[in-house]
Amino acid sequence: MKLQHNVRNLTIAVVASVTSFYSLAAVKADMVIHNAKVYTVDQQDTMAQAIAVKGNRIIYVGNDAGIDKHLGYYTQIINAKKRLVLPGLHDVHAHPLEASDSSFECILTETETLTQHVAKLNTCVKGAGTGWILGWGHTLKTLLEANDDPVSYLDNISATQPIAIMESTSHSMWVNSAALAELGFTANTVNPAGGFIVKNEFGQPNGILLDTAGDMVMHEALGSPNTQDKNRHYQSLLKSLKLLK
């Protein structure tokens, strides 16, 4: 049974046809990988020894002996030396809106120290208006290695105006006490589904909100957009999608 698959950027997705290996009759391959452990991802988790590629197609998956008929003068031959060949692993996870949204006024970088973060945020907050102060760009590691609870560093900047800084991977938020109060997060608050409210040794929220708990910050801060906000978000999304092409 013949099976065809696209091959992009030389990343090979190997899938065997049901329980059998397959081959396109004696087509000469552009590239052959042999002496390998090829994981085919079929229902039986079949392992093969060799694969052959022609253009954007996998034309053979099977044993080493069967690869010979696909060898031509210009075929690139790769000896995998018994190493594992896996299907292409493609990360399609992205945050296009967050990447371009100008709602994040305070921009940090992963290379900055916590002291540099605080100095930059101090300047940013002083120049901002009322309401939520939003930022982005630190690493979670920086906060986990801090001497004090992360919330205290932001409280020293402002304990009354809610501050929320999104981590560079977008999977956690760094917040101050005012932000926690807006969300109603206390020592007694249970973790939301899919999220985590990090607490200190005394059971108090320490200023780090993971995943869904952090998402709740954005819903609170941006949950009532006016027409201007909606248009800005839409234009930001278009900008990011254009960059992703």
pLDDT at residue 25, rounded to an integer = 59
Mark out the alpha helices in the chain (DSSP H runs): 96-100, 114-126, 140-144, 150-155, 177-183, 212-222, 227-244
Residue ranges covered by each domain of the chain = 22-85, 96-239
Task: Read off the pTM.
Answer: 0.63
> Which letter, b or e, does each residue of 125-138 get, where b requires 16 or more Cβ atoms within 10 Å of its Cβ?
beebeeebbbbbbb
- The CA–CA distances, whole Å, from 13 to 2, 51, 126 equal 15, 11, 52
Domain 96-239 of CATH type 3.10.310.70: yes
Per the structure block, which two tokens stand in for 191?
A: 């973790």
Tokens at 72, concatenated: 């031509």
pLDDT for 126 equals 86
Q: pLDDT category, 43, cuts 50, 70, 90?
A: confident
- Per-residue confidence (pLDDT) for residue 44, from 0 to 100: 84
Longest dimension (CA), the chain: 74
Structure confidence by residue, pLDDT tens digits, 185-232: 999 999 999 999 999 999 999 999 999 999 999 899 888 878 887 888
Percent of the chain clearing pLDDT 90 (strictly above): 61
Q: What does the pLDDT read at residue 15?
A: 42
Q: Could you give the strand order of the β-sheet that contains 47-48, starting from the edge strand earlier in sequence?
A: 47-48, 37-39, 84-85
CATH code for residues 22-85:
2.30.40.10
Q: What pLDDT is attached to residue 24?
A: 57
**pLDDT greater at residue 8 or residue 192:** 192
The pair of structure tokens assigned to 132 is: 């939520």
